Amino acid sequence: MSGRPPLFRHGRVSSTLDLLHELAGAGAVAGTAVVAEEQTSGRGSRGRTWHSPRGGLWLSWLYRPRSAAAGEVLSLRVGLAIGRVLDLMGDLPPVQLKWPNDVMIGGRKVAGILCEARWQGGEPGWIAVGIGLNVQNPIPPEVRATATRLGDFCSDVTPDSLLSVLLPELESIVDLPAALGDAELAAFARRDWLAGRTIREPASGIARGISRQGALQVERGDGQIAEVRAGHVVLLDG
């Protein structure tokens, strides 16, 4: 036996996140994963629906944090893990990360990360991490200007070929400290899609990277740095 946490495979489901929450509530171990070929009710950030037809990687992964602080940097660590996996493909433009939960290629979104916590008392009992990665699936016409897929750059990539590399990368972040380390901050800085851009939400100013606690640092007009811990980024120019 490999000793790795279980992986549950499905064909068509409503949401891998819902299935993983059920498993977590029943005592599933950290690192348990659920993957589906298709989701009928996939979730994105801010209550949006994530279009999840066959051909994409629709994965949910179970994280059991040791503290609430560890959960605050989780989406960033997962983004870095996805970036490391995509770097192995070799035929892609630079892979960038848009705080707090988007993976970008060529200025368009190729993957999204959604972390859903369930609390037990005053601490998070678990966090279900939903990952939607566009691979060979069709992109809806209404988002083609802002979304892309790996298949447009590498014709032979498959969801399974990515999954086999991504799961070990996710396992590597389980025991990391609550705060981001120097190497992680440097890795994020190299991929930071927002760096130097002027934003108007969730704070007005120039994006200046992230803190060790995962907050977006925004330089305001008076030169002061504001730290934003949550929110949806809107660029000043749209």
Same domain, 210 and 92: no
For residue 1, being part of any structural domain is answered with no
Residue 2 belongs to a domain? no
The per-residue DSSP string of 149-202 comes to -GGGT-TT--HHHHHHHHHHHHHTTTT--SSPPHHHHHHHHHHBSSTT-EEEES
CA 35/CA 144 separation, integer angstroms: 24
The single-letter DSSP state of residue 204 is: S
Domain of residue 210, residue span: 198-235
Q: Is residue 105 part of a domain?
A: yes
Same domain, 173 and 210: no
3-state secondary structure of 109: strand
Are residue 134 and residue 94 in the same domain, yes or no? yes
Residue 5: which of 76, 62, 69, 88 has the closest Cα?
A: 62
Which token pair is 171?
């396992």
Higher pLDDT, 180 or 4: 180
| Total domains, the chain | 2
pLDDT tens for 143-183 read 999 999 999 999 999 999 999 999 999 999 999 999 999 99
Annotate 93-129 with b (16+ C-beta within 10 A) or e (fewer): eebbbbbbbbbbbeebbbbbbbbeeeeeeeebebbbb
Q: Are residues 114 and 37 in the same domain?
A: yes
Please indicate, yes or no, whether residues 98 and 72 belong to a single structural domain of this protein: yes
Residue 202 resides in a domain: yes
204: domain CATH number is 2.30.30
- Does position 45 have pLDDT exceeding 80, yes or no? no
Are the C-beta atoms of 73 and 180 separated by less than 8 Å?
A: yes
Do 96 and 202 fall within a single domain?
Answer: no
pTM of the model: 0.95
168 and 206 share one domain: no
Q: How far apart are CA 107 and CA 104, in angstroms?
A: 6
Picking from 8, 128, 23, the residue whose alpha carbon sits closest to that of residue 65 is 128
Q: Would you say residue 7 has pLDDT above 60?
A: yes
Tokens linked to 99: 């705080």
Same domain, 105 and 213: no
List pLDDT tens digits, range 84-135: 999 999 889 999 999 999 999 999 999 999 999 999 888 889 999 999 999 9
Which residues lie below 8 Å from residue 206, measured CB to CB, with a gap of 6+? 196, 197, 198, 199, 218, 219
38 in a domain, yes or no? yes
Q: Are residues 152 and 231 in the same domain?
A: no
Rg of the chain taking only CA atoms, in angstroms: 17
CB 19 within 8 Å of CB 34: yes
In a domain, 26, yes or no: yes
Query: Does residue 156 share a domain with residue 67?
Result: yes
Q: Residue 47 burial by CB count (10 A; 0-12/13-18/19+): exposed, middle or buried?
A: exposed
